[in-house]
């Protein structure tokens, strides 16, 4: 009786612990995706039964951690250079683009005037953007250059070490205008969008994911990001669709 | 200006400009009792416990164009945000607590009885200050300046918010390292800058220790 | 030389009332240790923050709360020789003395009897290299150098050896007599007191007689 009871208990434990016995999926994602990835991860968990562990940070920081061997299964990046870098080092596969973003020009919510185009920015004193090394900053400068406005506006550009810094400057009114991503502008009630920058085919703003290592679940998560469910969540958050 | 030169210039400027207020505050806190002294001390030390970004935001609220002092500054043609001046102010405010603590300790290390004797010998309060107090306190005061300098070298958060990351004007070593690390294979640049920064800071701290030892030798409560 | 004191001082955590009147050219203040003799000297010098009442020396009112008079220490024309010398450690002996002298380049010896005080050889030394007795002599010279009208001496001879005491005491008396300086002395040793002071006041639990 006792031995049978022990075996039964053991069997029940093993059976019930079915999900817990599988290792969680560790996903490292760019900080700009924080709000939108959490519900997407939850849906993935429900449909696949795999628990997802999210951690957020700057794309460069996360990529370096992965290079240094930090246990990671999926890398979701806002910076294509780092995805390329990891693949070149043999660390990632199944590269997928799952979302895009747009640049918008923002002004403080209570600004009296709204500039209508890039040419209208020359009268304003400070144009807040992220630094040139940050993807958002690089894209912004390219957008200005492709309109021939970069030289004219260079003197007015004030750089922040990250996009949120630029956003904060416009929100506080310190800078009269800024260029950030559409998704950034949405979360800040103290700014409003003056106009949208048309996407540049030569310089797309993309979000990519790769699977690190050989896990099937990792590849499944990457594919899930392109699923209808995930795409709807991304669209709701202001991201553009996967190309 | 390269980030190295810029960092040196900003750190030196903030240490120099911060000297009068730091010495004055240190002296008042060391030698005087008055109502509100605790509050003053807490205000001065606040940047030490606040996240630097918060300090930067507060400075922006005070000195930005829409800030409390914005109109006044604009009136005299001074612009703080996004300028080297802003970087100096950020470094100064962040380093001031250390400076004031060091100055206060330096003055407390001068035996007040020496000042009293000087007074009875006919020296006016100003003469006591310049001939007795300051000469005895100066190694400790200089140590405070060096400490503030070292702190300013590493300053990032408040500078980023108040002055931004403008290469040549406000991109200090710390900001440059941050930017260099954004791109793949940026490690060599980042490492080079970091080693420079560490080297300078270590030099500053060694100098600081030497000055402190000298201060103890000079102003000891004997004779 | 008139002295009039009517003070309430914080001494050892208590408020103590001290009253004294004298016309002698030199006064000694004696009493058990801890009773507040040094505190009283400090109050006369103007260094006691918590002291209230009246201080009048040689016809000049230095403090009078009723009339809101309070002369700061550096204007009181008082020379103070503290019990522990308190020489300025960053200045040489010569510079210590010169600090007190009003006119910069006086020949110190003529005025102060540097030789008589036995410190000529010490003039260029640093205070930290001096013995206790040497420091005390320098402190005396320094106090004399500020050309005071009143000299406050707190145990001025205690660090000197027996032979030196009589000699230094004589020098002090001579200087004070020549320059018409009022002497207020705190001392333990009976022979010191006899040498230095004419009139004697004793501080007891109840204050001065």
pLDDT at residue A9, rounded to an integer: 59
Instruction: Name the pLDDT band for B221 (thresholds 50, 70, 90).
Output: very low
Residue C207, domain member (yes or no) = no
Written as six digits, the tokens of B4 are 């190295």
Q: Residues B151, B154, B155, CA angle at the centre, nearest 5°?
A: 85
The proportion of chain A whose per-residue pLDDT surpasses 70, expressed as a percent, equals: 91
Per-residue pLDDT tens for B157-211?
A: 999 999 988 888 889 999 999 989 988 988 898 999 999 888 988 988 898 888 8
Q: Say how many CB pairs under 8 Å bridge A and B.
A: 64
CATH 3.30.499.10 fits A103-196, yes or no: no
Residue C32 lies in a domain: yes
Evaluate if residue B23 carries a pLDDT over 70: yes
Where b means 16+ CB within 10 Å and e means fewer, C65-87 reads eeeeeebebbebbbbbbbbbbbb
Q: Model confidence over C24-34: pLDDT tens digits?
A: 888 888 877 77
CB B137 within 8 A of CB B106: yes
Residues contacting B72, CB < 8 A, separation 6+: none
- Asked if the structure places residue C72 within a domain, the reply is yes
Domain boundaries, chain A: 2-100+205-236, 103-196
pLDDT at residue C110, rounded to an integer = 60
Q: Where do the domains of chain B lie?
A: 3-218
Q: Which residue has the tokens 């809101």?
A: C68
User: Please, are residues A21 and A27 in contact by the beta-carbon 8 Å criterion?
Assistant: no
In chain C, which residue's Cα lies nearest the Cα of B33?
Answer: C49
pLDDT(B220) > 70: no
In sequence order, the 6+-apart residues with CB closer than 8 A to the CB of B158 are: B47, B52, B53, B55, B56, B59, B90, B91, B93, B94
**Residue pair B139/B212 in contact by the 8 Å Cβ criterion:** yes
Domain of C174 in residue numbering reads as 3-202
In-domain check, residue C76:
yes
**Among A22, B142, B135, which Cα is nearest to C99's?**
B135
Which chain B residues are within 8 Å of C80, Cβ to Cβ? 117, 120-121
pLDDT digit string, tens, across residues C1-22: 788 888 888 887 788 888 888 8
pLDDT over 60 at B212, yes or no: yes
Is pLDDT above 80 for C105? no
pLDDT(A11) > 60: no
**Phi, psi of C92, deg, nearest 5:** -70, 170
Q: What is the CA radius of gyration of chain B?
A: 20
Tell me, what's the pLDDT at C200? 73
Written out in words, the top-level CATH class of the domain with range A2-100+205-236 is: alpha beta
Q: Shortest CA distance to B118 belongs to which of B129, B103, B106, B107?
A: B129
**C5/C55 Cα distance (integer angstroms):** 5
Q: Is the pLDDT of residue A6 over 80?
A: no
B65 closest CB neighbour out of A131, A158, A174: A174
In B52-91, the residues whose Cβ lies within 8 Å of chain A are 57, 60-61, 64-66, 81-82
Cα torsion through B7, B11, B12, B18, rounded to 10? 160
Is B113 in Cβ contact with C86 (below 8 Å)?
yes
Give me the residue label for tokens 């001939």: B131
B160 touches chain A (CB under 8 A): yes
- For residue range B80-132, what is the model confidence (pLDDT) as tens digits? 999 999 999 999 999 999 999 999 999 999 999 999 999 999 999 999 999 99
B vs C, Cβ pairs < 8 A, gives: 72
**Which residue from B66, B160, B186 is facing A160, i.e. has the nearest CB?**
B160
**Is B110's Cβ below 8 Å from some Cβ in C?**
no
Contact C130, C138 (CB under 8 A): yes
pLDDT of residue B26: 95
C near A: at least 3 beta-carbon pairs less than 8 Å apart: no
Helix ranges, chain A (H): 2-16, 18-21, 34-48, 59-67, 80-88, 135-146, 150-153, 163-171, 182-186, 216-224, 228-236
Model confidence pLDDT, tens digit, residues C142-179: 998 888 899 999 988 888 888 888 888 888 888 888 88
Q: Are A100 and A207 in contact (CB under 8 A)?
A: yes
**pLDDT tens, position by position, A82-96:** 999 999 999 988 899
| Contact yes or no for B223 and C146 at CB 8 A | no
Percent of chain B past pLDDT 90, that is, above it, reads: 61
Q: Domain for residue C209, yes or no?
A: no
Contact C74 B122 (CB under 8 A): yes
Q: Is A123 exposed, middle or buried (0-12, 13-18, 19+ CB in 10 A)?
A: exposed
Domains held by chain C: number: 1
The two tokens of residue A47 are 């449909």
Q: What is the predicted ipTM?
A: 0.88
> Out of 1.10.3720.10, 3.40.1180.10, 3.40.390.10, 1.20.1050.10, which CATH number does the structure's domain B3-218 have?
1.10.3720.10
Does the CA dihedral A102-A103-A107-A113 come out positive or negative?
negative
B122 touches chain C (CB under 8 A): yes
């Amino acid at each position: 009786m006792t031995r049978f009871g022990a075996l039964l208990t053991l069997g029940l434990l093993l059976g019930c612990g079915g999900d817990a016995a599988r290792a969680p999926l560790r996903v490292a994602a760019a900080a700009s995706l924080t709000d939108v990835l959490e519900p997407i991860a939850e849906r993935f968990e429900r449909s696949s039964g795999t628990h997802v562990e999210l951690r957020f940070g700057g794309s460069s920081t996360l990529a370096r951690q992965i290079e240094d061997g930090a246990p990671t299964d999926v890398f979701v990046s806002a910076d294509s250079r780092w995805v390329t870098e990891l693949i070149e080092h043999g660390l990632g596969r199944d590269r997928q683009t799952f979302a895009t973003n747009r640049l918008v020009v923002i002004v403080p919510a209570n600004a009296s005037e709204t500039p209508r185009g890039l040419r209208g920015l020359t009268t304003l004193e400070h144009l807040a953007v992220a630094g040139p090394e940050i993807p958002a900053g690089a894209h912004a400068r390219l957008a200005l250059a492709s309109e021939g406005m970069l030289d004219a506006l260079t003197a007015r550009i004030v750089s922040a070490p990250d996009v949120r810094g630029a956003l904060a400057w416009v929100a506080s009114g310190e800078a009269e205008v800024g260029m950030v991503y559409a998704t950034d502008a949405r979360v800040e009630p103290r700014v409003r969008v003056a106009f949208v920058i048309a996407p540049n085919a030569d310089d797309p703003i993309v979000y990519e994911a790769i699977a690190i290592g050989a896990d099937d679940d990792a590849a499944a998560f990457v594919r899930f990001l392109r699923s209808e469910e995930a795409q709807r969540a991304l669209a709701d958050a202001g991201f553009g669709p996967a190309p | 200006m390269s980030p190295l030169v810029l960092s040196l210039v900003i750190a030196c400027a903030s240490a120099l400009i911060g000297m009068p207020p730091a010495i004055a505050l240190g002296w008042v806190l060391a030698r005087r009792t008055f109502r509100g002294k605790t509050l003053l001390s807490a205000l001065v030390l606040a940047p030490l416990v606040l996240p630097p970004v918060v300090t930067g935001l507060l400075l922006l609220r005070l000195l930005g164009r829409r800030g409390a002092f914005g109109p006044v500054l604009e009136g005299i043609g001074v612009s703080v945000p996004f300028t080297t001046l802003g970087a100096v102010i950020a470094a100064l405010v962040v380093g001031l607590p250390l400076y004031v603590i060091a100055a206060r300790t330096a003055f407390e290390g001068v035996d007040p009885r020496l000042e009293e004797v000087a007074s009875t010998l006919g020296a006016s309060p100003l003469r006591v200050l310049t001939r007795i107090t300051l000469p005895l306190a100066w190694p400790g005061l200089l140590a405070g300046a060096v400490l503030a300098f070292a702190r300013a070298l590493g300053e990032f958060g408040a500078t980023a918010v108040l002055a931004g990351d403008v290469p040549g004007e406000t991109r200090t070593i710390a900001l440059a390292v941050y930017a260099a690390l954004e791109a793949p294979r940026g490690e060599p640049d980042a490492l080079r800058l970091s080693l420079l920064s560490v080297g300078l800071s270590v030099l500053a701290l060694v100098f600081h220790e030497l000055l402190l030892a000298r201060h103890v030798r000079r102003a000891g409560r004997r004779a | 030389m008139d002295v009039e004191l009517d003070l309430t001082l914080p001494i050892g955590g208590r408020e103590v009332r001290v009253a004294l009147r004298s016309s002698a050219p030199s006064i000694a203040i004696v009493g058990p240790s801890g009773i507040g003799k040094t505190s009283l000297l400090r109050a006369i010098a103007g260094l006691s923050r918590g002291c209230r009442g009246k201080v009048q020396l040689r016809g000049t009112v230095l403090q009078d709360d009723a009339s809101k008079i309070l002369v700061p220490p550096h204007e009181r024309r008082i020379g103070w020789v503290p019990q522990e010398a308190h020489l300025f450690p960053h200045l040489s002996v010569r510079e210590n003395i010169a600090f007190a002298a009003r006119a910069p380049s006086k020949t110190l010896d003529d005025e102060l009897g540097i030789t008589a005080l036995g410190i000529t050889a010490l003039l260029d030394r640093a205070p930290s290299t001096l013995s206790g007795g040497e420091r005390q002599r320098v402190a005396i010279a320094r106090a004399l150098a500020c050309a005071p009208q009143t000299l406050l001496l707190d145990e001025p001879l205690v660090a000197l050896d027996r032979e030196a005491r009589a000699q230094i005491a004589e020098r002090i008396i001579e200087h004070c007599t020549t320059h018409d300086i009022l002497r207020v002395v705190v001392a333990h040793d009976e022979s010191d007191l006899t040498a230095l002071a004419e009139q004697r006041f004793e501080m007891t639990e109840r204050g001065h007689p």
